[in-house]
Structure 1
């Protein structure tokens, strides 16, 4: 199963390199696009959970790294101050 990474820029200016166990993230996010924080969280978490389920279908167990990435994204989004919560997350690129 081809894993990939995607780099995002949060509204506070910080960058994050995120892990996905499959290319399914390309169905949810597009390089160069910006998403409101809540939309990004919904899309990225759905993509990572779908990737984990692809791992489960192939190997019989979900991907712990994908689920840890979900938790990290949720924590980063929650940590944003109210001034940044209305901002956008930009997808800077994908790496395979």
Structure 2
């Protein structure tokens, strides 16, 4: 990691950016803690999403196809099905607060 990445990561952490593992079991706790913090502060929510995702390689394409088949969704040719569990959880949590 370069010095600039270290500084940016530190600055993002100080500004309560939410760093995710892309595994909802561990991300759920992080999301709940930071959203609870924002709710207790009394500030309006502001969400900026950096959609870093999965490259559309053959393995990811096959996983997306299987997910679509399992959930009766259309199969996409040029994009992958998005991972929405964390986002939906976050929005539902924000509506409560």
- Higher helix fraction: Structure 1 or Structure 2? 2
- TM value normalised by structure 2: 0.33
- Higher strand fraction: Structure 1 or Structure 2? 1
**Structure with larger Rg:** 2
Higher RCO, Cα 8 Å, sep 6+: 1
- TM value normalised by structure 1: 0.33
